[in-house]
Chains A and B, each alone.
Chain A
Amino acid sequence: QKEVEQNSGPLSVPEGAIASLNCTYSDRGSQSFFWYRQYSGKSPELIMFIYSNGDKEDGRFTAQLNKASQYVSLLIRDSQPSDSATYLCAVKNAGGTSYGKLTFGQGTILTVHP
């Protein structure tokens, strides 16, 4: 079992729709969760981070965390063609040899078509 799993996609949504990206993780000791957007040929860009169970909203983006189910998601409202990218879920642990380490999923490719 992979430590962080994402559906690789591609996920295709029409412009203006809600895009839903999902991520599960295996380590119950994980404490913080990040979503990065990566355009082709570029480095990952931080979109949101979440630490507590529930929802966190920032503009068109909402991150949802459920630690009991070991599940984190990212919703993108009013999707735009410029949102087309690979979305990376990353999980951070607190202790041991993994101190400060980010563990990434393989990423979900999102395509927003006009």
Chain B
Amino acid sequence: NAGVTQTPKFRVLKTGQSMTLLCAQDMNHEYMYWYRQDPGMGLRLIHYSVGEGTTAKGEVPDGYNVSRLKKQNFLLGLESAAPSQTSVYFCASSRPRQNRNQPQHFGDGTRLSIL
């Protein structure tokens, strides 16, 4: 059971470069989320998706774009990386809230450093 898989696990970028983080889940979950985690800040929601072809902004969306072309995949893009985007990025997935008691399942994270 893979659950939620994130690639890559580590990446170092130079300021201004672009990259895409991939999240894949095999649990047939409708909802998917991208968070960033910075020291002392907890997990902050960047973007989320409630189904294939839909995306919405979270708490800290600036500088990021997302796409959900397939139900199982959720991509996070950085068009022009900035040092402030150095962080650990977590992807999560869940069933809809209508199914009560549904937790979010997290991937192992992507550690991104921007120089």
A binds B: no
Please report A residues at the B interface, Cβ cutoff 8 Å: none
